[in-house]
Amino acid sequence: MLVLLPRAISGISLPEGFRSVVFDAQRQELDETVREAEFYIPAYMGDSRIFEVIAEMPKLRYVQLLTAGIDKTVGYIPDGVTLMNARGVHDSSTAELALALTLASMRNLTGYIRAGSQAWSARSGRPSLYAKQVAIVGAGSIGHEIARIFSALGARCTLVSRTGRDGTLRLADAGGLLATSDVVVLVVPLTEATRHLADAAFLANLKDGALLVNVARGEVADTAALLAEVASGRIQAALDVTDPEPLPPDHPLWAEPNCLISPHVGGATDAFIPKARELVEKNLARIARGERPLNVIEGEY
């Protein structure tokens, strides 16, 4: 089996009878070798070209993503091709960033940075995460890891999901929780059902002083509605993702003191490469043994 993989995870261990070619869909011309591919790993955070080339791979059987979200693949995966995501690869890194964004906002770290040498005169009592109510909207593996590390600091965490299964609160029933939560973390996948989930009505339901943390996708929040709420000073926001993305340099969100923005770096840590390699190696070994791969995407997304 021919495996196309990005340079970042080259050198992985392959089962007997498998061979690999390092392939950058954004730079490399297609050749007959590429057209023989049966297992394809698109580059992490590449542009649309990494999926457009799938149409030139007639023998393709498997696509292994290095992202947890699959929204960018819609319309590109042919019938009969098995799609796997990177569930588990980004859990710790994204949860760490969610915590960092939360603490930086609550403890006014960006304000102290802006104050520079005048920071001592800007000192004030700030909220702690201890005993705060945190609603985590999205109950996948990343959401569970966020709940685990926030709980370790004394926060009272509730996981919210579309279905309400496995002890989570159903999103349709979560209005009361969201209205009383100190922190609301968005970590849902982007689908048509979650696009602009955090719209004007959703944001208006948040209590005064609440912090909205988005480590999902930018389109999960309505940017215009979010800007209006943040600009009013009623709520705070900490965003690793924006809509549009990258956020233009002149966008008014940059100037809002109640808004902290990081440039979509939730999974961009040194944990990514070893975890990605481990997942790919496991799935190739499972396929070689005739077993079902891990993280297969099925049904409604």
Question: Which pair of tokens denotes residue 277?
Answer: 């390699």
- Coil, strand or helix: which one is 274? helix
pTM beyond 0.95, yes or no = no
Catalytic hit among 90, 217, 219, 229: 217
User: Does the structural domain 91-261 have CATH classification 3.20.20.140?
Assistant: no
Gap between the Cα atoms of 148 and 74, Å rounded: 31
Q: Provide CATH code, domain 2-89+269-288.
A: 3.40.50.720
DSSP string, 29-94: PP-HHHHT-SEE-PPTT--THHHHGGGG-TT--EEE-SSS--GGGTTTS-TT-EEE--TTTSHHHH
Instruction: Select from 179, 235, 189, 188 the least CA-distant residue to 212.
Output: 235
At 300 the pLDDT is 56
- Coil, strand or helix: which one is 247? coil
Is the link from the previous residue into 252 a cis peptide, with omega within 30 of 0?
no
The answer to whether the 2-89+269-288 and 91-261 domains have the same CATH topology is yes
At 32 the pLDDT is 80
Q: Where are the alpha helices (DSSP H) in the chain?
A: 32-35, 49-52, 91-106, 109-115, 141-152, 175-180, 200-205, 223-232, 272-288
- Is-contact 160 138, C-beta < 8 A? yes
Contacts of 104 (CB under 8 A, 6+ apart): 110, 238, 260
Q: Is 56 in the active site?
A: no
Contacts of 100 (CB under 8 A, 6+ apart): none
Q: Is 217 in the active site?
A: yes
Q: To which H or E segment does residue 259 belong?
A: strand 259-261
Catalytic hit among 90, 144, 162, 264: 264
Going from N- to C-terminal start, the domains of the chain cover 2-89+269-288, 91-261
Instruction: Select from 58, 44, 50 the least CA-distant residue to 264.
Output: 44
Q: Is 245 in the active site?
A: yes
Q: If the chain, 301 residues long, is cut into consecutive pieces of 10 residues, what is the mean pLDDT of each piece?
A: 94 95 80 90 91 95 96 94 97 98 96 86 88 98 98 98 95 97 97 97 98 98 98 98 97 96 95 97 98 90 49
